Structure 1
């Protein structure tokens, strides 16, 4: 074990000599003859593990030195023992209130000094070990949560890609719409009416949930899903059920695992359920499956509605060519207040260049 370092602070050389002779056989000893030198020594290597601090010093007394040590995050936990001729209860209480860990009165007795120093260094070692272990645990928990979320995200994207593949779309549609949703959410978070709603946790949940928006398409028969021409009225009625089918599938997954201790891990699935069920609703109430209007439509679904339509407009399909960015932008603007939430359209216009960058980065045919 490395030798511990004790910093002795006293303006009287004789006192430093006495304390040094007591401690040097057992510890590395550093000395400072003033408060300002003590503060400097506390910041330089070898950093002290403990300070024995005189109270009555000119210019800067021990109380002020301790105040400054406690104000600096680098020395806030550095244990300090006052060594002083002041021996009233009030003096001792004042020092302890400021954060001193112990009090030794002059003239010092070697056995008392060694016992107090040894005790405080042992306590510091225990605290340091506990702190280091806690930091390791915190980083390990963060690492494992990160791995768990990555596995969740990969699984969600795989499921979403299966649904998109059945609809002759690509997995890049999933990535594009996911990034569009995050961009819209982060933009709304800067606006006064949305700041309290758009916490970082909420933005992350919306982004993680977005890939599941069309998961219900796995329940749509192939002859309808892959029909190249216009759907009949009956076929369109079946196609529209994918919104409810997707939400119901996600609800079944939540219901099977919704215990209190798992609720936080499942929060994004509740968002996913809202998105799957309502991303085809329209601001004016003419959408499906429930004909919701305005702010009755969940916010995440309002973001997804624009993201999904925009990506459909700029993407080539067997039944249509890809539209240029400016034309797609005009169509989105035309839907402001009818198809789309006006605030979401405004956020889109603020970040249209970012949408174009996302579309280029995850263009069909490129590796995701």
Structure 2
């Protein structure tokens, strides 16, 4: 994928890189940007989200696309899986609403999964969809806006879905975040203090006193099994001390930096994400690791098996997990200060996480020693730490 889809030869007609143009759009339309991470599958396909500007009306469009990096004759092939020109599948008969938003896809074993909605900020139609890697395939609705929430009272229906989907290696199961109901609670987002100074300055310009956002009271982490059509609840707020699964980040491009006036280069803004990753092994219970705000701190937690019968296990928790339990080289007396996990971080029973550790001198709090790394561990059934972590 590239932004060179509109480059032409000296004759000003022939496209130099036609395989980089947006498939399904007017010939010579280029991509503006590729938000999120791509997915690599079957050792030959790169599946990604692409945004572009429609040359006919000047409006922004979005879609899910794939590139076959093996088949290169006569030219490399790029196909479209879903786009803003496609009708949302699971809508009332006779409706003609198209996708207004698509999320970066996940993929495994020849299947692509993605979240698609009519309106990203306040969806009324859409869901999570599955499709084979093919041009303009039939989309299968896995779960949709308005579907009954498993484990909740009748009439409780999904109202929003997260972008990050973690797909099992066989392509049959995936974990996801969702919310339901209308109850919310306020949360004040304060601008970051570390990072890109241009982004920090732009955040303070936009939100000098912070940004107050409404957070859904009812949120959960779920697993859907495509072969059976079943959706199971893994964890939810208001239980086991869990308050929130959403984590916020002010990111993007500050004005006048890194993109100029190019169309589609999105300005920095507050974004929320939920994080979960799953491992499904033959003849073993499913395991899901997710990030949550729990009992007034943040951490990574493991659920083994469907439902909530098995107690949560702590992988690493801010302010309570000893740094040397994660990394023997961490400063003595340090505690975990930040944790992270991504959608493809749990494969074949092996989990990868990011962790930061911080030692604060008990006499002089201005004296600190930090440590951080990416760590992996073989997660045995029923015992997260049995084999320890390694760099």
Same topology, TM > 0.5? no
More strand by share: 2
Return the structure number with greater helix share: 1
TM-score (normalised: structure 2): 0.17
Relative contact order, higher structure (CA 8 A, sep 6+): 1
